[in-house]
Chain A
Amino acid sequence: MDWISPRALTRLGMLNMNRRNVDYISRYNERTSYPMVDNKLKTKLVVAEYGVKTPKLLQVVRQQHEIPHFRDMAEDLTGFAIKPAKGSGGKGITVITGRDEDEFVKASGMRVPAAFLERHLSNILAGLYSLAGTPDVAIVESLVQSVPGLAKYSFQGVPDIRIIIFQGYPVMAMLRLATKASDGKANLHQGAVGVGLDIGTGQSLNSVQFNRPITLHPDTGLALENINIADWEEMLTMASRCYEATGLGYMGVDLVVDANEGPLLLELNARPGLAIQMANGRGLLPRLNAIENLKKHHFTPEARARYAMEIFASRR
């Protein structure tokens, strides 16, 4: 067994679970704002007012009897994603990337009939994937076409970018790449690769999988050290904007870069995980303290993003 001493963790400024819950989530996140981020449909509607783009909403299925309409709508679509509005951790998301005559082709290449998707919709409505098993609605979104520059790093799935926003300031970011182990999902605890991103430039820093440092993607074999995210400042500004939209002081913002639409918001998370610190190789606490100790806050998302890029840039 290998252990790290608590003193070393304090030196590194590592934020831990208890502290995150007591000092950040329960202090800065209003309980009333939770439904806004726990429900993807509400998130979409709220952030739209603040100019944050999300994947195009094609259809909302609210009742079991509306399921037949789905078949009409999906008639002439080639790619789309079905998501439970209240799902968490990517559960219940089915991505259809193409058609093969009457059958739909899933991201994994499996062919499924329309009846399969209808049953999936029915399960979503029954609350199979929702947080507390409560009844849910299903949303159908247009498929995100990841920019090729990023897509090549990921094994299946769309790479997404997680940015921690604290009081409206981006404090840490990472790129999440799906792997074979994570089954095309971008969740770190399921085996996705986390690549820390320099807040100053959008350049990749360290990479981890299953909490262990790596240098190559385990499936695609590509080196992970020289990834560069385009339009970095725009993405940070967009993430900062979600603070105004939701009022959540401590949250995780998940973004994707669409080849046609540019950066899109995938979802918000009121309880973002701690693994981002390992991907970055540094703790969150010094940055959170820096923001907490700010005498004067910046009012616009643009100013906040620029300020964060200045003070949180890594000096290599």
Chain B
Amino acid sequence: MTARSRIPFFAAIVLLIVAGISIATWRHIELGIPWLTGEQQPVWMVEARINFEANGEPVLASLNIPEQSPGFRILSEQAASPGYGFSVVDKSGSRRAEWSKRNVLGEQTLYFKAQFIPDPNANRDRPRRAPKPIAIFWEEPQATAVREILQQAEERSSTPESMTRELIRLMQPEDDQAQNTTLLVAGTNYLDLLVRMLNHAGIPARTADGLKLEDARRRQALTPYLQIYNNEEWLTFDPRTAEQGLPENILLWRQGAESLLDVVGGDGSNVSFSILRQTIPALQLAAMQSEKNGLGFLSLYQLPIEEQSMFRMLLLLPLGALMVAFMRIVIGIRTSGTFMPVLIAVAFVQTTLVPGLIAFTSVVAIGLLMRGYLSSLNLLLVSRISALIILVIFITAGLSIAGYHMGFNTGMTVTFFPMVIIAWTIERMSILWEEEGAHEVLVQGAGSLFVAVCAFLVMDAPLSRHLTFNFPELHFVVLGLILLMGQYTGYKLSELRRFTPMKVYD
């Protein structure tokens, strides 16, 4: 490669590494896949319990359920109600859970459960079509009172938000306008009154019901809230304090829809809520989310479990390859067979380290002894290797049986080693022994095992297992690093030792 053609090469490597890291970061943010293992995320489990007295007719119970609650995402929904038909229907912009049954009599209880994940950025309510204020007609003497109060509020405000705040303040009984307020509030629902007044002032307004999320609460009721439209999005106000915005622990169960609960064919219906705070592993959460999210197709969670576990293993291999590349190119450790250490390390992952090391060295040692006899037979290469493969299988079978009878289950783990690779290792070691002597066999054998153990330690770390499987795009980074090492022309660590005698000429 000339100096000129290196620029695109390094640009490509930088691109690879940046792409890998940024895709991973993006998926971390979008899907919430955690960087570390064992991360937990809080989830609110809310259970709505509906009670009513059925009076022997066909029953249709319809409960408003959240669709897009600001600050929360819905993880799962489920209804429990024996004998009832259940469906979730979308009706004029609001979602309703509907239970139905013919011929019901007596006390009835229906349950609806949903899990919510707090997410500050979720579902800011921005309607595509701007809502219009509803025309309101007032009768005297309210009409005059409303006009006066609205006029005062308008004088003290500039925007729909400030107008709302001022109006709420004016409506408080301790205000100077006690006379007008008392007149209006008397006999009507305070919140409905606010909504009507705001609509009258040309600000689209509606009510909403919020649920205060606190761990282990039962029989909770919904708290009403006021929502106005500021020509951009729906804003929530506390109608009592005029405080704008929704507290973090308030889940809006109903927004905009007409009613919370309708029961046809029953009397005395009511709904109450129980709340439980759960934690689930962030990873599980991400896996569940990925099914719904458009980015999910990039992840491996949707494969059948069997393929998933295969990929768990496969995706560890690049780390082993990276390790081998580093050890050979930068450190300069001699191994027998370039990637034999990686395959041995993969086997170690299944056998665990110490039993794996014992099993491997004993198989190779016994194999070397037998190979000594084979070499005296003067066989052709192919049949010698073939014979060796069969011998290796005999050895592993023998070790397994012997180990089992002696009560070591670890003996059985030898079967995880790739037989053909072991046979080639033995062949190569044996030739090395004949040609270069036992010393070289020890050097290369120890080098291979050392690299295998290093690769194993990297591949077996929980963090690398987690990252390789959940962020497969990080392999771009591994690829980039390997390519980069392919261009490393500096001294290997071992060469600093090898060339030591050159000191005298310096």
Contact = CB atoms under 8 A, between A and B. Distances in A.
A211 B496 contact: no
Given A8-B503, A18-B489, A190-B436, 7 more contacts: A8-B502, A8-B506, A9-B496, A16-B495, A17-B332, A126-B381, A278-B499
B498 interface: yes
Interface in B452-506: 486-492, 495-506
Contacts of A6: 490-491, 496
Contacts of B435: 91
Given A19-B489, A126-B380, A128-B381, A211 B505 contact: no
Contact of B500 (A4, A19, A127): A4
B197 to A, nearest CB: 80
Contacts of A119: 378
A281 B502 CA distance: 6
A48 B486 CA distance: 37
B329 A18 contact: yes
Contact of B501 (A11, A22, A127, A212): A212
A126 B382 CA distance: 9
Contacts of B354: none
A213 interface: yes
22 contacts: A1-B497, A2-B500, A3-B496, A3-B497, A3-B500, A4-B499, A6-B496, A9-B491, A9-B499, A16-B489, A16-B492, A16-B495, A17-B495, A18-B488, A18-B491, A22-B486, A123-B378, A127-B381, A212-B501, A213-B504, A278-B499, A281-B505
B31 to A, nearest CB: 40
Interface residues of B, number: 27
A23 B492 CA distance: 15
Most interface-central of B378, B435, B486, B505 (chain A CB within 10 A) = B505
Interface in B360-388: 378, 380-381
A14 interface: yes
Nearest to B493: A3
B496 A12 contact: no
B310 interface: no
Interface string A162-197: 000000000000000000000000000010000000
A5 interface: yes
Nearest to B375: A128
A282 interface: yes
B408 to A, nearest CB: 37
Contacts of A123: 378
Interface of A: 1-6, 8-9, 11-12, 14, 16-19, 22-23, 27, 91, 119, 122-123, 126-128, 133, 190, 208, 211-213, 277-278, 281-283
A133 B502 contact: no
A252 to B, nearest CB: 18
Contacts of A12: 502, 505-506
B1 interface: yes
Contact of B490 (A3, A16, A281): A16
Contacts of A4: 496-497, 499-500, 502-503, 506
Interface in B109-157: none
A167 to B, nearest CB: 15
Most interface-central of A1, A4, A119 (chain B CB within 10 A) = A4
A17 B500 contact: no
A14 B499 contact: yes
B448 to A, nearest CB: 18
A14 B489 CA distance: 12
Contacts of A11: 506
B437 to A, nearest CB: 9
A192 to B, nearest CB: 14
A19 B500 CA distance: 18
Given A2-B500, A4-B502, A91-B435, A27 B1 contact: yes
Contacts of A3: 496-497, 500
Nearest to A23: B489
A103 B492 CA distance: 49
A9 B489 contact: no
Contacts of A133: 381
B381 A9 contact: no
A211 B501 contact: yes
Most interface-central of B329, B486, B492, B501 (chain A CB within 10 A) = B501
Contacts of B498: 211
Contacts of B436: 190
B381 A278 contact: no
Given A4-B500, A14-B502, A213-B501, A22 B489 contact: yes
Nearest to B1: A27
Most interface-central of A1, A128, A283 (chain B CB within 10 A) = A128
Contacts of B490: 6, 16, 18-19
A237 B503 CA distance: 33
B24 to A, nearest CB: 30
Contact of A2 (B378, B487, B497): B497
The 9 closest A-B pairs by CB, nearest first: A19-B489, A281-B505, A16-B491, A4-B500, A126-B380, A8-B506, A2-B500, A18-B489, A133-B381
Contacts of A1: 497
Contacts of B492: 16-18
Nearest to A10: B491
A126 B380 CA distance: 6
A23 B501 CA distance: 25
Most interface-central of B436, B491, B506 (chain A CB within 10 A) = B491
A14 B1 CA distance: 21
B486 to A, nearest CB: 8
A2 B491 CA distance: 16
Nearest to A7: B506
Contacts of B378: 119, 122-123
A74 B495 CA distance: 46
Nearest to A1: B497
A123 B501 CA distance: 40
A16 B381 CA distance: 34
A5 B505 CA distance: 13
Contacts of B487: 22
Interface in B162-195: none
B422 to A, nearest CB: 17
B502 to A, nearest CB: 6
A11 B505 CA distance: 10
